[in-house]
Amino acid sequence: MAVTTDGPLTVTADGPLTLAGVRDLHRRWLDGAAFDIGYPNAADFDPSMLLRLFDVTLNNVGHPFTPTSGFSGHSLPLEQQLIRELGATFRCPPDLVTGFVTSGSTEAVRAALLAARRRFRRRLIVYASTAAHTCVAKLAEELCLPLRQVPARADGTMDTTALAELVQQRRRGVAVLVVATIGTTMLEAVDDVPAIHTALDAAGVPAKSRWVHADAALAGIPLAMADPAGRPGFDIGDGADSINISGHKYLGVPTPCGAIVLRTDRCTPPDLTPTYTGAPDLTPAGSRSGHTPVLMLAALRGFGTDGLRSRAETCRSHAATLVELLTAADVPAWRHQDAFTVVFPAPSDRLRARWPLPVQDGWGHVICMPGKPFTRYERFAAEYLADRRDHGGHPLPGRPPAVAADLEDAIAC
């Protein structure tokens, strides 16, 4: 098998994979990573020690918090340990922690919506801001839950005054599920969980009829390392009922994965019929990875609390320096206080052919992530400024990012 060294990625149609072919693939992906500054994957987790585990089948069927039977090819006890450690990180009372590992944050948000749907017997409305991840709308449609989109402010945070007004319009007795976004995709804006509760108080939603889920895919762990007094309230200690992270973002696990932590006192037990494994299956998926819990646990332990904190500080300082570099050249670049994400007028298509950055509403961004050297961001900034100088600047976006005034109607099922 041979691999093309430029042009579209293909392998020759005949013959088995060879070591040389695999090395070519590896080289192409490593070369591509040099321009990869727009996506939130950390690049400093070294999984090589764990490669030892990839010749055993590990399949975590069922729930990590229920007793398991004889079959040994799983990592459910380690998955439980991971969830307990994430529970402590997000300040869930230790006796109320439950949760499991998922394929990513999308599946984790889905699990939160399912848990709330079960608890409120389908009489609920989902509220999320217009800057929430697109998975929320996709999942609300899939799960036949009505969704109300709450306007985001110009800085990307949920407008909680608008939330209170929208919630007030619901029929009596309908429960409220708010998905708070802890680090929006474009601006890394953080919705304030205590402010969401204040809005729900103002709208007269009883405590027993509300659920706040924190979608903290990227920013959850780095924010948890900051002093709670100086950051927005977002975790279970701040009033969230459930929270999720992606393992392939801040932890840098090289394959998509995620985890959800829920408060047991918010969950209604589902059907407890044991499956063929002998344990009740409380997870929405069937077979789940037994490797990703070990990878995430290894990343948490390997970096340690101090490492997780210092990596976040380095990223913030890179982002701050990049903002200075761009604003010194009169580019209206900016970032949120604790964010790794630097926002600026969208680069030209010419530049984006080289640097694949996401753009929206006339804005683009880069995300300063662990393991990506600052020289990479500097090189981008130099090319961005040269492109601006040579081609007459980037048009200033007409309106602030992430503001969509119109509210989408409930998705009918």
Which residue's beta carbon is nearest to the bound ligand PLP? 104
Q: Rounded CA gap, 400 and 314, in Å? A: 28
Q: Rounded CA gap, 264 and 236, in Å? A: 12
Q: Which of 75, 181, 242, 348 binds ligand PLP (CB under 6 A)?
A: 181
- Pairing label, strands 210-215, 242-246: parallel
| Amino acid type, 236 | I
Phi/psi of residue 8, nearest 5 degrees: -60, 150
How many Cβ atoms sit within 10 Å of the Cβ of residue 358? 15
365 touches ligand PLP (CB under 6 A): no
Decide: 246 and 257 in contact? Cβ < 8 Å. Answer: yes
183 touches ligand PLP (CB under 6 A): yes
Nearer to ligand PLP, 102 or 277 (CB): 102
215 touches ligand PLP (CB under 6 A): yes
246 touches ligand PLP (CB under 6 A): yes
292 touches ligand PLP (CB under 6 A): no
242 touches ligand PLP (CB under 6 A): no
The CB-of-182 to ligand PLP minimum distance in angstroms stands at 7
Nearer to ligand PLP, 152 or 218 (CB): 218
Nearer to ligand PLP, 104 or 397 (CB): 104
Q: Which of 106, 149, 242, 289 binds ligand PLP (CB under 6 A)?
A: 106
105 touches ligand PLP (CB under 6 A): yes
Is 211 strand, coil or helix? Answer: strand
The CB-of-317 to ligand PLP minimum distance in angstroms stands at 22
Q: Which stretch binds ligand PLP (CB under 6 A): 6-14, 98-106, 284-292, 357-365?
A: 98-106
Q: Which stretch binds ligand PLP (CB under 6 A): 102-110, 259-267, 285-293, 299-307?
A: 102-110
Decide: 337 and 317 in contact? Cβ < 8 Å. Answer: no
Best CA proximity match to 246, nearest among 255, 258, 234: 258
Q: Calculate the alpha carbon distances from 153 to 40, 160, 209, 366, 399 in Å.
A: 23, 9, 26, 21, 12
- Pairing label, strands 97-102, 258-263: antiparallel
Query: Where does this chain bind ligand PLP (CB under 6 A)?
Result: 104-106, 133, 135, 181, 183, 185, 215, 217-218, 246, 256, 258
